[in-house]
């Protein structure tokens, strides 16, 4: 028979085994939480896409408003439910701080304004409208509200808030950022908003930038950037029909590549 280990050594070994078991349980809980969040998001968006057409033509953009309300109300409930089931990190539900929100919005607005100003000054792009100022302001407010409710708030709460927090509990920041961007792209492809490889690559790049903002700052920064970017893209585009854009492809490039690249360059060293 072999000699018995000293009591102190056995205690250390038992503690090590208990620690490994606890870490494995936490990892399984986090992975389970990520799967639940992804499936729950797919269920919410599918239900919203199915139900919102029943509101069509009841008032201006009623179908879009119905979709926005469904996902904006359901997303926090999903995150709260998964947090209880999977015992997610407390940071997954942290969505405060106007300063963080404004920081994210400015990360888009400043590079975009500089790029747009350079394009207009050089004549490479043009922007004109015949709409009255009151019409532009009213529709602009509606566009911002719709993007916030239908996209920026629920998507950032689920993907950068909850999913990225759960992933970060299992791995370093950069792999977590990349993986959540891949899941975001998979989600978009599944619900039909990324039907081509070009759309999918854009959404991955978008999710990657938002993940950096969340990691370098906080979830509200990602919400602010998402809101500023998508509101600008949609409001200046054909969806609202208020502006006539010369060289729209270059305008879209200025609205995406320049702010995205500037944000990555500015924040990559602050990722934590």
Over residues 262-266, mean pLDDT: 96
Taking 50 as the threshold, does the pLDDT of residue 243 lie above it? yes
Q: Is 217:103 a contact under the CB 8 Å cutoff? A: yes
Residue 49 structure tokens: 């896409």
Over residues 141-170, mean pLDDT: 96
Over residues 136-140, mean pLDDT: 95
Q: Is 192:161 a contact under the CB 8 Å cutoff? A: no
Separation between Cα atoms, residue 196 and residue 39, nearest integer Å: 22
Q: Which residue would you say has higher pLDDT here, 108 or 255?
A: 108
Cβ contacts of 173 within 8 Å, gap of 6 or more: 215, 271, 272
Q: How confident is the model at residue 9 (pLDDT cuts 50, 70, 90)?
A: low
Q: What is the dihedral of CA 72, 78, 81, 83, to 10 degrees?
A: -100
Segments of the chain assigned E as strands: 126-128, 244-246
Taking 60 as the threshold, does the pLDDT of residue 19 lie above it? no
- The whole-chain average pLDDT of the chain stands at 88
Over residues 13-30, mean pLDDT: 62
Short-list 229, 232, 223, CA closest to 97: 223
Residue-wise pLDDT for 227-238, tens only, equals 999 999 999 988
Measured on CA atoms in the order 56, 58, 59, 62, is the torsion positive or negative?
negative
pLDDT for 237 equals: 87
Residue-wise pLDDT for 117-126, tens only, equals 999 999 899 9
Name beta bridge partners: 126: 246
Please state the pTM of the whole predicted model. Answer: 0.88
pLDDT for 95 equals: 44
pLDDT for 164 equals: 95
Residue-wise pLDDT for 156-183, tens only, equals 999 999 999 999 989 999 999 999 999 9
Separation between Cα atoms, residue 272 and residue 260, nearest integer Å: 19
**DSSP secondary structure, 24-79, as one string:** HHHHHHHHHHHHHHHHHHHHHHHHHHHHGGGGTTSSTTHHHHHHHHHHHHHHHHHH
Over residues 110-115, mean pLDDT: 94
Residue 43 structure tokens: 């269920």
Which residue, chain included where needed, has tokens 């792209």? 185
Q: Is 219:94 a contact under the CB 8 Å cutoff? A: yes
The answer to which of 10-14, 34-38, 209-213 has the lowest mean pLDDT is 10-14
Q: How confident is the model at residue 58 (pLDDT cuts 50, 70, 90)?
A: confident
pLDDT for 92 equals: 43
Q: How confident is the model at residue 250 (pLDDT cuts 50, 70, 90)?
A: confident
Residue 20: Cβ within 10 Å count: 10
Taking 80 as the threshold, does the pLDDT of residue 88 lie above it? no
Per-residue DSSP letter, 193: S
Q: How confident is the model at residue 93 (pLDDT cuts 50, 70, 90)?
A: very low
The answer to which of 91-95, 98-102, 111-115 has the lowest mean pLDDT is 91-95
Number of helical (H) and strand (E) elements in the chain, helices listed first: 10, 2
- Percentage of the residues of the chain whose pLDDT score is greater than 90: 70
Over residues 18-28, mean pLDDT: 60
pLDDT for 257 equals: 92
- Percentage of the residues of the chain whose pLDDT score is greater than 70: 86
């Amino acid at each position: 028979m072999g000699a018995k280990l000293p009591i102190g050594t056995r205690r250390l070994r038992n503690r090590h085994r208990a620690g490994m078991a606890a870490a494995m349980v936490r990892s399984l809980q986090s992975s389970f939480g990520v799967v639940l969040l992804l499936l729950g998001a797919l269920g919410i968006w599918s239900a919203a896409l199915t139900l919102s057409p029943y509101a069509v033509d009841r008032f201006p953009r009623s179908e879009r408003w119905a979709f926005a309300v469904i996902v904006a109300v359901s997303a926090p409930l999903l995150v709260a439910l998964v947090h209880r089931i999977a015992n997610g990190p407390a940071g997954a539900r942290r969505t405060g701080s106007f300063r963080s929100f404004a920081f994210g919005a400015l990360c888009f607005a400043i590079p975009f304004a500089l790029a747009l100003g350079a394009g207009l000054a050089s004549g490479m792009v043009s922007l004109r409208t015949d709409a009255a100022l009151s019409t532009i302001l009213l529709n602009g407010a509606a566009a911002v509200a719709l993007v916030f409710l239908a996209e920026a708030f629920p998507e950032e709460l689920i993907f950068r808030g909850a999913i990225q927090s759960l992933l970060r509990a299992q791995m370093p920041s950069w792999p977590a950022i990349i993986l959540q961007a891949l899941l975001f792209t998979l989600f978009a492809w599944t619900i039909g908003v990324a039907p081509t490889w070009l759309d999918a690559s854009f959404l991955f790049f978008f999710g990657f930038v938002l993940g950096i903002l969340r990691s370098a700052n906080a979830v509200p920064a990602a919400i602010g950037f998402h809101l500023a970017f998508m509101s600008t893209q949609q409001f200046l585009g054909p969806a609202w029909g208020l502006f006539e854009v010369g060289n729209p492809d270059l305008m879209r490039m200025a609205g995406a590549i320049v702010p995205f690249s500037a944000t990555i360059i500015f924040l990559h060293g602050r990722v934590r």
